[in-house]
């Protein structure tokens, strides 16, 4: 019997949503995906680790990546392989993610290369300190075609363990480091198709995106904003989560913080954010401001496989057992490539009501954005 006609281990569990084996997803869209991303960074801006793993059921690919920024160097490990039957084994090449306790505890591992023991490796425990919370349902179309539909949740916590790169070991503790993570699945474009007339005639004028999970000592704040070129809001939410918040009888409910607006201070001549103010509103309609200071940033298009990466992107078939290690110089235009036109994840320090917190200020602004004063793709801050 062909292997695709046999059940897989996950079929033993009562988790089915449609009358199909868990080998299959409900859509035949080649862009179907299921993946995660973890951030681990110190509070001084000296190191920012990003690692993630993705499954692409309709292209038969599983891949993973890890990047570490220290100074102007970005160390990267990437791996890709054929998707197997056991979807509970989150491992590709030297990278693996172990779900120790769902929605709470994870082990993040990148094994050192036998021929490069001083290269990037890590063994971390990622411990959630706040409940995981849903982000808004995310939908986008190119013309009339649905090209993105994602369901996502986000969480913050404290990491511990060790990261090694370039002969230096970083000791990670929850007191001096912060962890955030995002888990998403659905349909999201991957390279390899010709979208035809819609892509030719429905070229986007611009796109503006901010995603901020922020860990304070006694609360977690999540802010997400997506806007069209004219500033029309297509995605927006601000949420405050308490450590014991579960929405149940014994937990404090999540609090909505109004309609978020973000003022960004860009470096002159760029779209590189250096500071920001998140304008929110509490339940009594009183203004709430969170001030952000960028510590360091990692372009997701360099090493991590997000578009418009030129050397490797998620979901692309690289052959069985493929892996790659390299170090980028972020001051070298040849290494940076088109990263300036991609999303950048900034480790940032945030201040709310005098309390200091830490989180990710993920930012992407391309093309026209009227509220920011950007008129086209070449427009930058004065």
* 88 falls within a domain: yes
pLDDT bin (cut points 50, 70, 90) of residue 305 is: very high
Average pLDDT over every residue of 61-69: 98
Q: What is the 3-state secondary structure (H, E, C) of the chain?
A: CCHHHCCCHHHHCCCCCCCCCCCCCCCCCCCEEEEEEEEEEECCCCCEEEEEEEEECCCCEEEEEEEEEECCEEEEEEEEEECCCCCCCCEECCEEEEEEECCCEEEEEECCECCECCCCEEEEEEEECCCCEECCCEEEEECCEEEEEEEEEEEEEEEEEEEEECCEEEEECCCCEEEEEEEEEEECCCCCCCCCHHHHHCCCCEEEEEEEEEECCCCEEEEEEEECCCCCEEEEEEEEECCCCCCCCCCCCCEECCCCEEEEEECCCCCCEEEEEEEEECCCCCEEEEEEEEEEEEECCCCCCCCCCCCCCCCCCCCCCEEEEEEEECCCHHHHHHHHHCCEEEEEEEEECCEEEEEEEEEEEEECEHHHCECCCCCCCC
Q: Is the pLDDT of residue 60 over 60?
A: yes
The whole-number pLDDT of residue 202 equals: 80
Q: Does 97 fall in a domain?
A: yes
Please state the rounded mean pLDDT for residues 126-134.
Answer: 96
Per-residue pLDDT at 249 exceeds 50: no
Is the pLDDT at 53 greater than 60? The verdict is yes
pLDDT category of residue 278 using cuts at 50, 70 and 90? very high
Q: What are the phi and psi torsion angles at 243 (to 5°)?
A: -55, -35
Does residue 213 form part of some domain? yes
Residue-wise pLDDT for 164-221, tens only, equals 999 999 999 999 999 999 999 999 999 987 777 877 888 889 999 999 999 999 999 9
- Residue-wise pLDDT for 74-128, tens only, equals 999 999 999 999 999 999 999 999 999 999 999 999 999 988 888 999 999 999 9
Residue 22 maps to a domain: no
Burial class (CB in 10 A: 0-12, 13-18, 19+), 244: exposed
Q: Which residue has the higher pLDDT, 322 or 341?
A: 322
Phi, then psi, of 44 in degrees rounded to 5: -105, -5
Q: Does residue 115 lie in a domain region?
A: yes
Q: Is the pLDDT of residue 341 over 80?
A: no
The answer to whether residues 304 and 314 touch, using CB atoms and an 8 Å cutoff, is no
Q: What percent of the chain has pLDDT over 90?
A: 85
pLDDT at 248: 44
pLDDT band at residue 290 under the 50/70/90 scheme: very high
Q: Which two tokens stand for residue 60?
A: 């038969």
Residue 20's pLDDT is what? 92
**The total number of residues written for the chain in this structure:** 382
User: For strand 355-367 and strand 121-128, is the pairing parallel, antiparallel, or unpaired?
Assistant: unpaired
Q: 263: domain CATH number?
A: 2.40.370.10
pLDDT at 192: 84
Task: Name all contacts of 165-171 with Cβ < 8 Å and 24+ positions apart.
Answer: 165/68, 165/70, 165/75, 165/118, 165/119, 165/120, 165/121, 166/70, 166/73, 166/75, 166/118, 166/119, 166/327, 167/118, 168/70, 170/42, 170/46, 170/47
d(CA 296, CA 377) in angstroms, rounded, equals 24
pLDDT greater than 90 at residue 250: no
Q: What is the pLDDT of residue 2?
A: 56
Residue 27 lies in a domain: no
286-290 contacts, C-beta under 8 A, 24 or more apart: 288/257, 288/258, 288/352, 289/352, 290/214, 290/221, 290/223, 290/350, 290/351, 290/352
Can you give the residue range of the structural domain that contains 89? 32-189+205-372
Q: Is residue 379 part of a domain?
A: no
Q: Is the dihedral of CA 226, 231, 236, 237 positive or negative?
A: positive
Q: How high is the mean pLDDT of the chain?
A: 93
Read off the pLDDT of residues 256-265 as tens digits, 9 standing for 90 and up: 999 999 999 9
The pLDDT of residue 144: 85
168, exposed or middle or buried, with CB in 10 Å at 0-12, 13-18, 19+?
Answer: exposed
Is the pLDDT at 161 greater than 90, yes or no? yes
Token reading at 154: 């986000």
Domain count for the chain, please give it: 1
Peptide bond into 308 cis (omega under 30): yes
Q: What is the pLDDT of residue 3?
A: 60
């Amino acid at each position: 019997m062909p292997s695709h006609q046999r059940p897989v281990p996950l079929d033993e569990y009562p988790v089915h949503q449609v009358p199909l084996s868990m080998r299959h997803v409900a859509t035949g869209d080649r862009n179907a995906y299921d993946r995660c991303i973890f951030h681990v960074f110190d509070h001084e801006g000296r190191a920012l680790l990003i690692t993630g793993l993705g499954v692409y059921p309709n292209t038969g690919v599983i891949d993973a990546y890890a990047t570490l920024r220290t100074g102007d160097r970005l160390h990267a490990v990437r791996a890709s392989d054929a998707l197997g039957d056991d979807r509970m084994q989150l491992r590709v090449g030297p990278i693996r993610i172990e779900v120790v306790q769902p929605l709470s505890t994870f082990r993040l591992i990148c094994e050192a290369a036998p021929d490069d023991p001083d290269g990037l490796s890590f063994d971390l425990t990622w411990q959630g300190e706040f409940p995981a919370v849903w982000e808004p349902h995310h939908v986008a179309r190119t013309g009339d075609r649905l090209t993105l539909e994602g369901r996502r949740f986000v969480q913050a916590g404290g990491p511990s363990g060790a990261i090694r790169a370039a002969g230096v070991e970083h000791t990670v503790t929850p007191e001096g480091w912060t962890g955030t993570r995002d888990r998403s699945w659905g349909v999201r474009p991957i390279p390899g198709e010709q979208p035809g007339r819609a892509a030719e005639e429905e070229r986007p004028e611009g796109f503006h995106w901010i995603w901020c999970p922020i860990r304070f000592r006694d609360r977690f704040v999540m802010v997400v904003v997506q806007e069209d070129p004219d500033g029309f809001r297509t995605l927006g939410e601000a949420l405050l989560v308490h450590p014991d918040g579960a929405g149940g009888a014994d937990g404090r409910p999540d609090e909505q913080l109004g309609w978020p607006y973000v003022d960004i201070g860009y470096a002159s001549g760029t779209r590189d954010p250096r500071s920001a103010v998140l304008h929110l509103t509490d339940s009594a309609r009183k203004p709430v401001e969170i001030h952000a200071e960028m510590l360091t940033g990692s372009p997701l298009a360099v090493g991590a496989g997000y578009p418009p990466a030129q050397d490797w992107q998620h979901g692309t078939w690289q052959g069985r057992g493929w892996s790659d290690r390299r170090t980028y110089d972020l001051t070298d235009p040849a290494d940076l490539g088109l990263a300036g036109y991609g999303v950048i994840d900034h480790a940032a320090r945030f201040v709310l009501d005098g309390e200091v917190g830490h989180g990710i200020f993920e930012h992407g602004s391309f093309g026209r954005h009227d509220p920011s004063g950007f008129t086209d793709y070449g427009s930058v801050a004065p």
